[in-house]
Structures are given as structure tokens and as C-alpha cells.
Structure 1
Amino acid sequence: MAILPIIETPDPRLRVISEPVDKVDDALRALIADMFETMYDAPGIGLAAIQVGVAKRVLVIDLQEPEEEGGEAVRDPRVFINPEILSASDDLVPYNEGCLSVPEQYAEVQRPSHIRARWLDEQGKAHEEDLDGLMAICLQHEMDHLEGILFIDHLSKLKRDMLLKKLAKARVRAA
């Protein structure tokens, strides 16, 4: 396993539409293992393959939520290959989103609160499930990456420009 470099905005590779996976094999499973290691190291709760330079419809999520209030984070890694949203609720919920490709920047995004999704796991087994809460939000966020969309694209031009200006200033300070 390896920690892969995470592509950051404004890299044009983040705007590439990812290709469907046609075969779930050991090479794909190795990429998935590297993606989990990269995501945990970052640290983050979701990562799409395009964020590490691979334009395939693969993403990993681990919300790492504690079993009880104030408890230790529990790992529950989930793999989504060729994910599709079959339906989404009309009711939208706000969530303060961030992204490993837009480091240390956060903004409120409105997304459907409930979705029904279908995907393959790392063994090639098909799944279909109703999702809500943070899992629904995170899956929608990561699936946006597969279409070349960043969470900042859901913001008004003014908010997006302000966020990108803050990111540029932070990069100058860090350099």
C-alpha cells in the first residue's frame, strides 16, 4: 500500500469525467487499498479515484463515526465502484463541506437528505441501498468528483471566488 499524492484545485484533472470500471480485479483492489491509506493519512472521510489522478468511477468512504458520544472513532470502510443515484429526496439539508482537493476550506452546501444508490463493492458484488445523513451527503460529494464537479461549484460565484482567494492566500503563506 502507498500514500498517493492528492490533486488540488485548480488542477484541470479534477474536471475530468471518470470512466466506468469494466473489471473488478487485483489491480483495482490495490488502488482501493492505496486510496484508503491516502484518505486516512490526509485525514478525510471520502476520496474519489480522480483525486489521486485515476479517472475511474471508484470512490472510498469511511465516516469514522464513534459508536457513542465522545467515544473512539470506529473505522467502517466502504467502497463504491460505478455508483449511481437511483432517486433523491426533494428535501435538501445544509452541510458544511470540505474537500481534500480544496484543502482547509469549508462552505455550506445544500444536498438531498435521502438517496437510493446502487454500486459494486471491491469484490464486484452489486449493492442497492437507501442512504441518509452524513453517508448520503458524502456519497453525493464524492460522486460529484466522478463528474468533474467540486463542492465549490455548488456555491454562488461570490462565495466561490472568496473561498478560492482564501485558498490562494493560505498557499502563499505556506510557501
Structure 2
Amino acid sequence: MDLVEKKLQSALVYEGGFLQVHKDKVLLPDGSESSREYILHPGAVAILALTADRQLVLERQYRYPAGRVFVEIPAGKIDPDEAPALTARRELLEETGYRAGRWLHLGTAYPCIGYSNEQISYYLAEDLELGERELDEGEFLEVFTLPLQQVMQMALSGEICDSKSIVGLHWLAAHLDGRLPGAAV
């Protein structure tokens, strides 16, 4: 069965600093027409920064759309023409002050396929060295570390509840169990 929808028309509804909202007219597999509203996103990275004593680097940050403070793994938007692995290195340093001597790509996920093309590439960062943070203007977050097992429990209890962090923790657990090798970057 052919499930592909074909774009007939596309309209840019809104263009912001890094997001674009589109409304398209599409041809459905059965020949009827419908509309699709979606957000184009440049992509992002998420970093699971693990210390030698199995502490995970976390952030506490206010997220305006949800109206609350979240505990999450470091992450950031990919800049134009920037490779995801370079974004991961840049974001880890900017947000946390850590540099990593070893990097592995764990996988890529689509967090909101119903309304966006956003992709998040997940990286494990190890052999950490702490330096100075380089936060962007207007960026406010608290950085801290917790034992990995405690972080896993926080995800199970709902204290860590953003999908980016939950997916990253799932892949980190699989990597540490030897079920997900990762690729050196």
C-alpha cells in the first residue's frame, strides 16, 4: 500500500528566528485532498555527559512553552551549516563548561513527527574536563550532576519528563549494557 502523501501547494504561514510554520495542500493515497500544518526545524543535539564516577551532567531550565522548570540533559539547536557532532561539542561547553575527550553518536530520533521535521542527534560524552561556561545571551540554567542510577529513577518517576532526555537515557542504558555500540565521532 502506498502511504505517501504528495504536496500540491505549500504556503509559509510564519517565519521566526529559526522556525518556519507551513500549511500545505496534499494529495492523499486514496486520491482525496487534505491540508497539513507543520514546523520546519533546523535540528538539534542532546548530550549524555557521563563523568568517570558515573554521574550524569544535568540542567535545570525554565521552558516557556510548558511554563515550568525541567530537569533535562544538555541540548541545543544546530546552527546553519554546522555538523551535529560539532554542535554537540559547542553546546556542551557553552551550557555546562565541560569538554569531552571521547564522543559517541548513539542515534537520531524524531521527537514530534506529527507536526515537525525536527531531528535530535544523541551523543555520549566521556572523559570530561570542567572549564568555564559560555552561555548565550538570555540563557539561564543551573548545571549539576547526579548518580546515573538516580537519574534513571527520576525518569521512571516522571521527575524527568521531557522526551529528549527520556530517549537519551534509554539509549545510554542500552549502550552501557552493550546492546547499542554507538559510533565514534
| TM-score under structure 2 length normalisation | 0.24
More strand by share: 2
Bigger Rg, which one:
2
More helix by share: 1
| TM-score under structure 1 length normalisation | 0.25
